[in-house]
Structures are given as C-alpha cells and as structure tokens.
C-alpha cells in the first residue's frame, strides 16, 4: 500500500541544505531552532540592544 503525500513536490528545502552544511562544517545549525542550550551571557547582552532598537523603530 502506498500512501499519497499531502505535501507538494517541493524538492530539496532550505532546511535540508542548511542541515547538511552544518554537518559538513561541524557547525551548530541555527536554521531549525538549534541549539538546545542557553548562549553565553555576553552574546545575549550583545543582541539585546539591537533587538530593543528594532522593536522601538517598528512602533513609531
């Protein structure tokens, strides 16, 4: 028995490409919600200010 897919024939997706590249380069794949741990506090602090500025500019 063959089950018909409800997904269109999309071919290779960006998620497949990015996952393969992450494996090849021994990198962390951020394309699908990885990693499953907290980033260093320095990194969190570094992105907090630009994100706050972006949020303010979209509310004007």
Asked if 31 contacts 19 with a C-beta cutoff of 8 angstroms, the reply is yes
The 8 Å CB, 24+ separation contacts for 26-31 are none
What's the rounded mean pLDDT across residues 16-33?
88
pTM over 0.75: no
Residue 30 has pLDDT above 90, yes or no: no
Calpha distance 16→5 (Å, rounded)? 18
55 — pLDDT class (breaks 50, 70, 90): low
pLDDT of residue 34: 66
In the chain, pLDDT over 90 holds for what percent of residues? 22
Q: What is the pLDDT of residue 13?
A: 86
Q: 34 and 28 in contact (C-beta within 8 Å)? A: yes
Mean pLDDT across the stretch 43-53? 86
């Amino acid at each position: 028995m063959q089950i018909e897919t409800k997904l269109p024939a999309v071919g290779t997706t960006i998620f497949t490409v990015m996952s393969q590249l992450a494996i090849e380069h021994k990198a962390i794949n951020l394309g699908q919600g990885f990693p499953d741990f907290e980033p260093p506090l320095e990194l969190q602090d570094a992105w907090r200010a630009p994100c706050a500025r972006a949020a303010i500019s979209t509310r004007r």
